[in-house]
Structure 1
Amino acid sequence: MIPHTGAMCLLDAVCAWDEHTIHAISAGHARADNPLRGELGLHAVHLAEYGAQAMAVHGGLLARARGVARARAGRLVSLRDVKLFEEYVDRLDGHLDVHADCLYADDGGAQYAFRIEHRGRLLASGRAAVIHPV
């Protein structure tokens, strides 16, 4: 449902979704082959990509529910109000909970609020905007 392949597909499963929200999980933050991982580990700034992938999957699920085989491609154009509550996240055990809430969507793009949690503790949050190029 997203254009990424292999290890760059960061989400493992969708737990729940509806017209406005999605909840996915990922244990990839702890994997040594995580493509976003640097020398010191996986910096929390990369959690924005987890949020963006949840947005993309949500768009794909909505498209599929409307009978559209494939959602329109999107480009991440803006991150706002990003807050990080941890520096590195690769040493956290278990999975991450990735939530995205659609704030606005039309044929031209969408804006979502996202948050990533670990065992109920907030790791990162923010808003992201995507446009659908013509």
Structure 2
Amino acid sequence: MSEVFQAFTEMIQSRSRATLNYRPQANGQQERSLKSVMTSVRVYAEDLLHQDWDEIAERLVFAINTSQDTTRKETPFYLVHGWNAQSTLRAMSSSLKRGSGRQSDALAWRRDVNRQHEIALTMSKDYQADEKKRRTKEHNEALS
């Protein structure tokens, strides 16, 4: 490890552990995090022309920051800031109550958006389950 990097890690009071280039298993948790990010980038970057990369990156960062970590049982955003992140939609509509006119229209809109969000989450979970089955099958076939 270079002296500059060692000085940097000491400055930010971070622990680091050097791993061998040809042995990524030694750094398993970080490698798994990187794999998750790369998979997410592939899913979000469906546009072949990549014209809206700035919007995709923003959504991707929000998705990663608000996904619950299986080890710590918290989101990365919560671990850094101490509170859960809210989407703009949730922050804008969280104070709506039942009412007449504009408020009831906004409440109906919020319910519809939440319903669509639940559908998207369900589809996402189904996709993840299908991918897990596919990878398991692929792995088992490779072992045979």
Normalising TM by the smaller chain, what interval?
A: under 0.3
Q: TM-score, normalization: structure 2?
A: 0.25
Relative to its length, the structure with more helix (as a share) is: 2
Q: TM-score, normalization: structure 1?
A: 0.27
Q: Structure with the greater relative contact order (CA < 8 A, sep ≥ 6): 1 or 2?
A: 1
